Chain A
């Protein structure tokens, strides 16, 4: 082990500039206690990874943070003020966007239509509002311009895009609306090596632009490559927290399986 002493252990006490602080979150579904007293925080402008085995509570925690399930107990502080999300719309309004594994893209609509889905720009007023296609297409170009390679053609239907391009569209959409936190659920799970590298570049690009990212991943190498900080879940509880510079893949595996207890 690279670190035996307690110095590397990340405290669940948030630093002053944390964007999101979750304290004492518990959530049960019937008799199943999915989350028990989980406290985590996300440093502003950094990439935080959330890892853990299947059923460890990662998804439930993400659903609590993105407003899908309200927590039974515990509190959330986002951007300095206490929040309570009753629906995904609430979380979105606050500035939290989630890229789900199924991406929520509409295959038969174009890239720009997907980027503006339910946020369409219109001209006119009331019942005589018509889509401002030109302005949406121009802004769509800008939203995708941060992708240096593998840029999907904005007038192409999403059906024709590669897996990596689809992921890029979904991430660009999540990042493109003044959101402060983007949560990504296994963004490279279905991708090949090259496309994974491109999506990772995109995620780094978001950080370079000052975005805060929460990344759910099963891939420890990816976590070590991308993340600044890691939270490990095990059996519905927070098992450990680490700065990635103070840990390695081997320790993370140990923390996930329970071979190492922090």
Chain B
């Protein structure tokens, strides 16, 4: 009985929890975000204005969508290094179809489908080809950006369209459409991960693939599905990106890739898989965006931003070793 009591004693006093480093590790991203908001709020009067907060949320939207896709892959103990390249690829497909006179909605749809197909290729090679995730998606990273360059001949395509303009500038109340899109993705992903059989099987595949197979879970299908999700969300990110920039650019965007992984790590999702959580990576994405935004407002050269991101991510990873 003594064992059962010890295991069940989860409810500690608040004071006890604050002294427990595990508590800080579990809440690292939230605490980091609050700390950044306080520091930048004190240092720069414009940081906490409504306008700046709205701007931050809008610029965090693409990162949030990508981080959610990355979370599903990482929860199965994989990693999608191609997520930003697939977004670029989807954006180029969208832009070229639009330039060829396709209706914008159809162009967006095909862009998402193209990105999803790239994800299916990733998933098939990982699940059926039994090639490590890292190698497959490193290959796709190169192949998708290569395809984007070939299709577009290396040139950006202007996409000036009423629908995409409205998407970038319109809002529901104080929340821009970008924020609405990101919020919908987050809610659907959260429900899928924690309230469906699929979500349990994702975590089981990442936690103990052999055990999951012994219980009859088709882990290959699960791996395929998470790469499909990652690809489709990269396609959604592509629509937001084209809408924001007003053009489809074939340039490789490694910042999005690294920040998407960093957001997931900051959110407390273990790279070993088996542990997942959607809100953590969202907070991680907000934290990274606030960091960049705050440094810009303080007039610190943008050359320092990657350095700051790197320091924050590694510090968070150190703290997470104490996660319970």
Interface: A153 (CB within 8 A): yes
B184-208 to A contact mask, C-beta < 8 Å, 1/0: 0000000100111100110110011
B interface SS class: helix
- Is the pair B210, A106 in contact by a Cβ cutoff of 8 Å? no
- Is the pair A107, B200 in contact by a Cβ cutoff of 8 Å? no
Interface: B1 (CB within 8 A): yes
Chain A residues positioned under 8 Å from B212 (CB to CB) = 104, 106, 117-118
Interface: A120 (CB within 8 A): yes
Chain B residues positioned under 8 Å from A130 (CB to CB) = 191, 195-196
Interface hits, A100-135 → B, CB 8 Å: 100, 102-109, 113, 117-118, 120, 122, 129-131
- Is the pair B195, A109 in contact by a Cβ cutoff of 8 Å? no
- Is the pair B203, A106 in contact by a Cβ cutoff of 8 Å? yes
Residue of B196, B211, B214 touching A88 (CB-CB under 8 A)? B214
Q: Chain B residue with minimal CB distance to A149?
A: B1
B1-31 to A contact mask, C-beta < 8 Å, 1/0: 1011001100000000000000000000000
- Is the pair B197, A109 in contact by a Cβ cutoff of 8 Å? no
Cα separation A105 to B212 with both chains bound (whole Å): 8
Size of the A side of the interface (Cβ < 8 Å), in residues, is: 30
- Is the pair A131, B196 in contact by a Cβ cutoff of 8 Å? yes
Interface hits, B191-249 → A, CB 8 Å: 191, 194-197, 200-201, 203-204, 207-208, 210-212, 214-217
Interface hits, A139-186 → B, CB 8 Å: 149-153, 156, 160-162, 165
The 8 residue pairs across chains A and B that have the minimum distance between CB atoms: A104-B211, A104-B214, A106-B207, A108-B274, A130-B195, A120-B197, A118-B215, A108-B207
Residue of B7, B8, B216, B275 touching A118 (CB-CB under 8 A)? B216
A106-B203, A106-B212, A107-B274 as given contacts; A150 in contact with B3, CB under 8 Å = yes
Chain B residues positioned under 8 Å from A122 (CB to CB) = 196-197
- Is the pair A131, B7 in contact by a Cβ cutoff of 8 Å? no
Cα separation A71 to B215 with both chains bound (whole Å): 22
Chain B residues positioned under 8 Å from A149 (CB to CB) = 1
Question: What 9 new A-B contacts, CB under 8 Å, besides A104-B210, A153-B8?
Answer: A102-B210, A107-B208, A107-B274, A108-B275, A117-B204, A118-B197, A130-B196, A153-B4, A160-B7
Q: Chain A residue with minimal CB distance to B275?
A: A108
Interface: A44 (CB within 8 A): no
A residues with CB within 8 A of B: 88-89, 92, 100, 102-109, 113, 117-118, 120, 122, 129-131, 149-153, 156, 160-162, 165
Cα separation A118 to B197 with both chains bound (whole Å): 8
B102 to chain A, nearest CB (A): 29
- Is the pair B211, A106 in contact by a Cβ cutoff of 8 Å? yes
A92-B216, A106-B274 as given contacts; A118 in contact with B4, CB under 8 Å = no
B12 to chain A, nearest CB (A): 15
Supply 6 A–B pairs (Cβ within 8 Å), ascending by A: A92-B216, A100-B214, A118-B216, A122-B196, A152-B7, A153-B4
Total residue contacts A-B, CB cutoff 8 A: 76
Residue of B7, B191, B194, B216 touching A161 (CB-CB under 8 A)? B7
A164 to chain B, nearest CB (A): 9
B182 to chain A, nearest CB (A): 22
B contact residues, range: 20 to 34
B217 to chain A, nearest CB (A): 5
- Is the pair A109, B204 in contact by a Cβ cutoff of 8 Å? yes
Cα separation A162 to B3 with both chains bound (whole Å): 8
Q: Chain A residue with minimal CB distance to B218?
A: A118
Chain B residues positioned under 8 Å from A104 (CB to CB) = 208, 210-212, 214-215
Cα separation A108 to B3 with both chains bound (whole Å): 19
Cα separation A130 to B191 with both chains bound (whole Å): 8
A166 to chain B, nearest CB (A): 12
Chain A residues positioned under 8 Å from B275 (CB to CB) = 108
Chain A residues positioned under 8 Å from B274 (CB to CB) = 106-108
Chain B residues positioned under 8 Å from A120 (CB to CB) = 197, 200
Chain A residues positioned under 8 Å from B216 (CB to CB) = 88-89, 92, 118
Q: Chain A residue with minimal CB distance to B197?
A: A120
Interface centre among B1, B207, B217 (most CB of A within 10 A): B207
Chain B residues positioned under 8 Å from A117 (CB to CB) = 200, 204, 212, 215, 217
B156 to chain A, nearest CB (A): 38
Interface centre among A102, A104, A117 (most CB of B within 10 A): A117
Cα separation A257 to B205 with both chains bound (whole Å): 42
Chain A residues positioned under 8 Å from B7 (CB to CB) = 152-153, 156, 160-161
Cα separation A150 to B195 with both chains bound (whole Å): 29
Chain B residues positioned under 8 Å from A108 (CB to CB) = 203, 207, 274-275
Chain A residues positioned under 8 Å from B195 (CB to CB) = 130-131
B204 to chain A, nearest CB (A): 5
Cα separation A104 to B208 with both chains bound (whole Å): 8
B66-101 to A contact mask, C-beta < 8 Å, 1/0: 000000000000000000000000000000000000
- Is the pair B8, A129 in contact by a Cβ cutoff of 8 Å? no
Chain A residues positioned under 8 Å from B203 (CB to CB) = 106, 108-109
B124 to chain A, nearest CB (A): 22
- Is the pair A152, B200 in contact by a Cβ cutoff of 8 Å? no
- Is the pair A102, B207 in contact by a Cβ cutoff of 8 Å? no
Q: Chain B residue with minimal CB distance to A195?
A: B3
Q: Chain B residue with minimal CB distance to A116?
A: B200
Chain A residues positioned under 8 Å from B215 (CB to CB) = 104, 117-118
Interface centre among A100, A122, A131 (most CB of B within 10 A): A131
